[in-house]
């Protein structure tokens, strides 16, 4: 059964109007941003695990005022409407008719109906010495950024920053609520495999799309949206970013999720020229999580380190990355990733295994620019077998890893000019739980094709 609105699209299309200045009576009245996006799955394995069909669209309208009352003070508001673009078959994923799973990661409504959310509603102020943003917003900090499809995650937060010292930015903030975006279902299920490690802290059975009561595109208290069934005092953070030395960047962040866990994240980036036009970039990262207060998510003692080396110029590039996760014996050593974090260097389009228990992961990638605007990227990641167990499903055999998890991503991007962009990608993935017999089929593999086209002006 097809639901939603019908759009005459055969691939993913995105149209944007970026930053149109508005004048009223010759005076600056603010900035209007409009965006239209739509996407479709071209094909995938029809095995009940991989999303083998689906379309979705997003309409965004944002307005930010000019300065009001005083210089630097503005109000921003943005609404996001998301739904099935009319081509998704939601009821074909069953044994009688064969498996043809709909792509739940493109919509925020369980059946693909159009659903809107006032994702941004904030008051911002920018001063010579500090800046502040209060209200609903998209947060760009190391542990609040993750890949999105259409509707992103939103946070109700109160953020303050300062750059009084040259090259040093200090940030402090507190999050009280969060809204899950379009990709919450795969973050919990296909990507996270109900381990709570891939950006959503609970099994996808808690989402309305799968019979639960947790809605997407709706703001919840930070404890509730983590799937813990209890409201908390939210999540506080402090961060420092230093860029005072040429080619060097240092990030240090601490997050406190009341009665759940404390997180520490550090990252070092350094770049240097090694030949004419060729640059070497070296990155290192470290993530730690420890339960705190009432330990609502259980006892946690997790750490992950990472390294990445990249070499290239304007024509070509190559990198190798590594992540290692560890834990203290007797604890839930995997990372409780409930609020949309993904800083790991080895993450892929459909794999974020570095946050699971006792993982040694590596990723290699290359890209090549054939001509102006035409770029090919190929990445391969191997995550080995973790000690995490397949969550949220009853198996007829033990639900531990059976084989090494791998993913190959191939992406071709063509940008003929500033306005147009065309992209096609393929993701070939094998889950570490491939072969475990669950409700539908033991095969947990993907061969996912998707296409994107966008026009910006």
- 68: alpha, beta or left, given left = phi > 0 and alpha = psi -120 to 50? beta
**pLDDT (0 to 100) of residue 456:** 62
Q: What is the dihedral of CA 314, 341, 19, 124, to 10 degrees?
A: -130
> Within 13 Å and on the Cβ side, how many CA atoms surround 75?
5
User: Do residues 180 and 199 make contact, with C-beta atoms less than 8 angstroms apart?
Assistant: no
Q: What is the dihedral of CA 133, 232, 224, 204, to 10 degrees?
A: 90
User: Do residues 89 and 102 make contact, with C-beta atoms less than 8 angstroms apart?
Assistant: yes
**pLDDT (0 to 100) of residue 209:** 87
The model carries a pTM of 0.92
Q: What would the two tokens of residue 155 be? A: 């946070």
Distance CA 10, CA 254 (A): 45
Per-residue pLDDT tens digits of the chain, which is 457 residues long = 444 333 333 334 444 445 578 777 777 889 998 888 888 899 999 988 899 999 989 999 999 999 999 999 999 999 999 999 888 888 766 655 668 889 999 999 988 999 999 999 999 999 999 999 999 999 999 999 998 888 999 999 999 999 988 999 999 999 999 999 999 999 999 999 999 999 999 998 899 988 899 999 999 999 999 999 999 999 999 999 999 999 999 999 999 999 999 999 999 999 999 999 999 999 999 999 999 999 999 999 999 999 999 999 999 999 999 999 987 665 667 999 999 999 999 999 999 999 999 999 999 999 999 999 999 999 999 999 999 988 755 555 568 899 999 999 999 999 998 778 788 999 999 999 998 866 666 789 999 999 877 766 5
**pLDDT (0 to 100) of residue 329:** 63
User: Do residues 411 and 402 make contact, with C-beta atoms less than 8 angstroms apart?
Assistant: no
**pLDDT (0 to 100) of residue 7:** 35
**pLDDT (0 to 100) of residue 29:** 81
**pLDDT (0 to 100) of residue 86:** 86
Distance CA 15, CA 19 (A): 13
Q: What would the two tokens of residue 169 be? A: 């930015």
CA atoms 383, 385, 389, 390: torsion sign: positive
Going along the chain from its start, the domains and CATH numbers come out as 2-456 (2.40.160.10)
Three-class DSSP labels, the chain: CEEECCCCCCCEEEEEEEEEEEEECCEEEEEEEEEEEEEEEEECCCCCCCCCECEEEEEEEEEECCCCCCCCEEEEEEEEEEECEEEEECCCCECCCECCCECHHHCCCCCCCCEEEEEEEEEEEECCCEEEEEEEECCCCCCCCCCCCCCCCEEEEEEEEECCCCCEEEEEEEEEEEECCCCHHHHHCCCCCCCCCCCECCCHHHEHHHCCCECCCCEEEHHHHCCCCCCCCCEEEEEEEECCCCCEEEEEEEEEECCCEEEEEEEEEEEEEEECCEEEEEEEEEEEEEECCCCCCCCEEEEEEEEEEEEECCCEEEEEEEEEEEECCCCECCCCCCECCCCCCCCCCCCCHHHCCCCEEEEEEEEEEEECCEEEEEEEEEEECCCCCCCCCCCCCCCCCCCCEEEEEEEEEECCCCCEEEEEEEEEEECCCCCCCCCCCCCCEEEEEEEEEEEEC
């Amino acid at each position: 059964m097809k639901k939603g609105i019908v759009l005459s699209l055969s691939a993913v299309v995105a149209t944007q109007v970026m930053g149109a200045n508005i004048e009223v009576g010759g005076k600056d009245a603010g900035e209007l941003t409009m965006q239209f996006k739509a996407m479709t799955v071209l094909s995938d394995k029809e095995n009940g695990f991989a999303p083998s069909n689906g379309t979705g669209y997003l309409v965004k309208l944002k307005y930010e005022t000019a300065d009001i009352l005083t210089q630097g003070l503005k109000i921003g508001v943005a609404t996001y409407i998301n739904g099935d673009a009319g081509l998704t078959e939601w009821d074909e994923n069953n044994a009688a008719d064969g498996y043809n799973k709909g792509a739940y990661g493109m919509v925020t409504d369980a059946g693909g109906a159009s659903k809107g959310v006032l994702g941004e509603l904030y008051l911002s102020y920018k001063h010579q010495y500090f800046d502040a943003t209060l209200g609903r917003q998209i947060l760009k900090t190391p542990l609040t950024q993750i890949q999105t499809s259409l509707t992103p995650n939103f946070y109700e937060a109160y953020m303050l920053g300062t750059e009084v010292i040259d090259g040093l930015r200090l940030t402090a903030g507190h999050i009280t609520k969060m809204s899950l975006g379009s990709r919450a279902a795969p973050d919990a299920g296909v990507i996270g495999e109900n381990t709570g490690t891939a950006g959503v802290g609970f099994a996808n059975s808690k989402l309305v799309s799968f019979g639960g009561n947790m809605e997407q595109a709706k703001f919840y208290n930070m404890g509730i949206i983590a799937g813990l069934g209890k409201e908390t005092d939210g999540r506080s953070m402090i961060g420092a970013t230093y860029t005072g030395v040429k080619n060097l960047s240092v990030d240090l962040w601490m997050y406190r999720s009341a009665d759940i866990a404390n997180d520490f994240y550090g990252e070092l980036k350094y770049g240097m020229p090694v030949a004419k036009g060729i640059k070497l970039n070296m990155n290192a990262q470290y993530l730690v999580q420890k339960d705190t207060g009432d330990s609502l998510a259980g006892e946690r003692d997790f750490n992950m380190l990472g390294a990445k080396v990249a070499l290239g110029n304007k024509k070509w590039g190559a990198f190798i990355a590594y992540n290692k996760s560890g834990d203290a014996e007797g604890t839930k050593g995997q990372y409780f990733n409930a609020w949309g974090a993904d800083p790991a260097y080895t993450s892929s389009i459909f794999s974020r295994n570095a946050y699971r228990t006792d993982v040694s992961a590596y990723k290699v990638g290359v890209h090549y620019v054939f001509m102006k605007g035409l770029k090919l990227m190929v990445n391969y990641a191997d995550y080995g077998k973790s000690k995490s167990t397949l969550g949220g499903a009853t198996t007829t055999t033990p639900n531990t890893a059976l084989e090494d998890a791998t993913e190959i991503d191939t992406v071709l991007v063509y940008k003929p000019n500033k306005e147009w962009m065309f992209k096609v990608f393929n993701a070939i993935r094998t889950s570490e739980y491939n072969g475990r017999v669950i409700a539908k089929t033991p095969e947990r593999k993907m061969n996912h094709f998707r296409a994107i086209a966008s026009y910006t002006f």
